């Protein structure tokens, strides 16, 4: 256990919160190589495997359209990778920052920037690989903005998921032993995948439809302006409109995640401390030994899932109860104001 976590778990005075800036974070990540970085590389490998299957499909349905290959490969990778670099990805580091009064929004914002650098580099790397495979580079001129914007929607979904379903990163050999964390782990991965698919379809599909409509309207003009060309319409859509839309969605998600993180700061720190204690208490076995123990662990899953679901539902009921009681108090205060107002009006009438 590191000194920072030892101090935090012992309840002593926490160390000063480290300054969170993009250069510092990049240097720290490349120096430390945290666990989530290996998770990101695994996600990128999953994306490349998906793209390879589409390109060399043994069932005879090979995909040769460059943009389709790139979008599918990149989104498969970043939908999961965006979850590995969020608020609770590094419990020890997050405990130090949050316990020292660090700003959750700044933490998320800097991590988003780091994540975008990695994922945009991966996206353009995939684009270069597709060009080598398909021998087709004519599409790059018009579609490079789409490639640059692909990671933004998953990052926005990851911000909310990291606060709503915090599930700190854990080595796979430990995760396979921690069967009690599997339900939350599944929700943490599955829900952002769904949100990413829906959000990307909206953010990419709607502008593409609008672009076609504008082009169609321009073609029907009797006196079409010289600047209203297909290229200008395309760049106005994907260099102006879509980035603004993506950044708006990202800013809203970041603000919502920041508000939730401030409300749940103590809960998040407690969760990450328990997570660190759990990881330290796991048997120090290899990944292969953890895989061999899976059959025995799988037998406990039904009861584990039931207990975890019951605990989650109880927490939801408690939160709902607090909301209901707050609403009841608000209604009672409003009713008291109405009664007081009517009493005052009646006294004024009698006078």
Both tokens assigned to 121: 């580099």
71: pLDDT strictly greater than 80:
yes
Per-residue model confidence as pLDDT tens digits over 122-163: 999 999 999 998 888 888 877 888 888 888 888 887 888 778
**Mean pLDDT in residue range 176-200:** 69
For 252, other C-beta atoms within 10 Å of its C-beta total: 13
Give the tens place of pLDDT for each residue, 294-303. Answer: 777 777 666 6
Query: What gap in Å lies between CA 115 and CA 307, rounded to an integer?
Result: 35
Predicted local confidence at residue 122, as pLDDT:
93
What integer pLDDT is reported at residue 197 of this predicted model? 63
Q: Region 246-269: what's the mean pLDDT?
A: 84
1-10, 130-139, 263-272, 284-293: range with lowest mean pLDDT: 1-10
Q: Which pLDDT belongs to residue 129?
A: 92
Tell whether the model's pLDDT for residue 210 goes beyond 70: yes
Is the pLDDT assigned to residue 169 strictly greater than 80?
no
Where residue 6 falls among pLDDT bands split at 50, 70, 90?
very low
Report the pLDDT value the prediction gives residue 7, as an integer from 0 to 100.
40
Higher pLDDT, 112 or 279: 112
In whole angstroms, give the CA distance from residue 172 to residue 287: 7
Instruction: Over range 63-86, report the average pLDDT.
Output: 78
The region of weakest confidence among 11-20, 233-242, 273-282 is 11-20
Q: What pLDDT is recorded for position 305?
A: 64
Predicted structure pTM score: 0.70
pLDDT of residue 323: 56
315-335 pLDDT per residue, tens: 666 666 665 565 566 666 677
pLDDT for res 1: 37
**Residue whose structure tokens are 């988003």:** 112
Between 219 and 330, the higher pLDDT residue:
219
What does the buried/exposed string (b/e) look like for 200-221 if buried means 16 or more CB atoms within 10 Å of the residue's CB?
Answer: beebbeebeeebeebbeeeeee
């Amino acid at each position: 256990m590191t000194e920072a976590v030892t101090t935090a778990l012992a309840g002593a005075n926490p160390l000063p919160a480290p300054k969170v800036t993009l250069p510092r974070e990049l240097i720290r990540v490349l120096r430390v190589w945290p666990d989530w970085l290996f998770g990101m590389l695994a996600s990128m490998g999953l994306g490349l495997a998906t793209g390879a299957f589409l390109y060399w499909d043994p069932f005879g349905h090979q995909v040769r359209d460059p943009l389709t290959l790139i979008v599918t490969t990149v989104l498969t990778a970043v939908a999961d990778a965006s979850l590995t670099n969020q608020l609770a990805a590094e419990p020890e580091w997050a405990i130090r920052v949050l316990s020292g009064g660090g700003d959750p929004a700044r933490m998320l914002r800097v991590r988003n920037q780091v994540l975008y650098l990695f994922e945009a580099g991966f996206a353009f790397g995939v684009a270069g690989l597709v060009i080598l495979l398909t021998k087709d580079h004519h599409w790059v001129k018009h579609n490079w903005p789409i490639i640059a914007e692909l990671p933004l929607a998953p990052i926005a979904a990851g911000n909310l998921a990291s606060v709503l379903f915090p599930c700190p990163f854990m080595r796979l050999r430990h995760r396979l032993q921690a069967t009690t964390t599997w339900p939350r782990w599944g929700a943490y991965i599955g829900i952002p995948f769904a949100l990413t698919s829906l959000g990307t379809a909206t953010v990419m599909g709607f502008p593409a439809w609008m672009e076609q409509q504008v082009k169609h309207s321009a073609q029907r003009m009797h006196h079409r302006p010289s600047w209203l060309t297909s290229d200008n319409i395309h760049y106005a859509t994907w260099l102006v409109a879509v980035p603004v839309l993506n950044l708006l969605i990202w800013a809203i998600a970041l603000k919502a995640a920041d508000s939730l993180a401030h409300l749940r700061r103590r809960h998040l720190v407690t969760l990450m401390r328990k997570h660190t204690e759990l990881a330290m208490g796991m048997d120090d076995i290899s990944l292969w030994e953890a895989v061999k123990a899976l059959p025995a662990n799988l037998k406990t899953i039904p009861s584990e899932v039931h207990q975890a679901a019951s605990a989650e539902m109880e927490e939801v009921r408690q939160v709902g109860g607090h909301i209901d009681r707050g609403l009841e108090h608000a209604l009672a205060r409003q009713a008291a104001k109405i009664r007081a107002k009517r009493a005052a009006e009646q006294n004024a009438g009698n006078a």
